[in-house]
Amino acid sequence: MNAKALVCALLSVLISSAAERLEVVICNTDHVPESVLASAELNAGEIFRDIGVDVLWSSCTRWNASPSAERLFILRIRSHTKPASRSGVLGMTYFSSGAPPVYADVYFDNVENLVSAYDVGPAQVAGYAIAHELGHLLLGPTHTGYGVMKAVWSGRDLRIMGHHGLTFDKAQRASIRRQLQVGVRGSP
């Protein structure tokens, strides 16, 4: 292989891997235990790693803007559900017309209520709730009947989570990667 082809191949790999990274600022607004939050980040990161996307986590208190800011999302971890939310809702993504979605919440009180009836830890379910809300930020407001983007998880889903088996479907994986390759906010 000549040097020009090798340089082009290396640049292609670097561009491809850089495009499949997601930067998330976590704002622990109500002081959910840091150990639980760190485990939830690991779990959510694993879900995205399984589809070829690396998540770069930052804390609100330690966040500095980076060159990849066009792929930046802000996720608040709240201990109490927003009063206007339905009971049992684990999170909410905020959409507004004419602007790309950037903000989402995960409600830790509802995560704890859900896991109390099943043999799965709050960090595991919180990780899936984080992945679900990030999924909305990348895929839009729709749900599916199964997997990470299911609207309401059943006891069976929670058991599958315990084995790291709940995933994005094939079309969602492709769409997420495509969004990250072209830039979530439409920048090349």
Residue 1 reports pLDDT greater than 60:
no
Note the pTM of the prediction, 2 decimals: 0.83
pLDDT tens digits, 97-144: 877 788 999 999 999 988 887 878 999 999 999 999 999 999 999 999
Summarize the confidence of residues 87-91 as an average pLDDT: 84
pLDDT tens digits, 58-80: 998 866 655 555 568 999 999 87
The CB density around residue 16, as the number of other CB atoms within 10 Å, is 12
Judging by DSSP bridges, how do beta strands 21-28 and 54-59 pair with one another?
Answer: parallel
Which two structure tokens, joined as six digits, stand for 75?
């996720």
Tell me whether residue 180 is in a domain: no
Tell me whether residue 168 is in a domain: yes
Residue 128 near residue 166 (C-beta atoms within 8 A): yes
SS3 128: helix
Tell me whether residue 6 is in a domain: no
Q: State how many domains the chain has.
A: 1
pLDDT in the model for residue 183: 67
- CA atoms of 56 and 67, how far apart (whole Å): 13
pLDDT in the model for residue 15: 44
Which range marks the domain in which residue 94 is found? 18-174
Tell me whether residue 23 is in a domain: yes
Tell me whether residue 188 is in a domain: no
Tell me whether residue 9 is in a domain: no
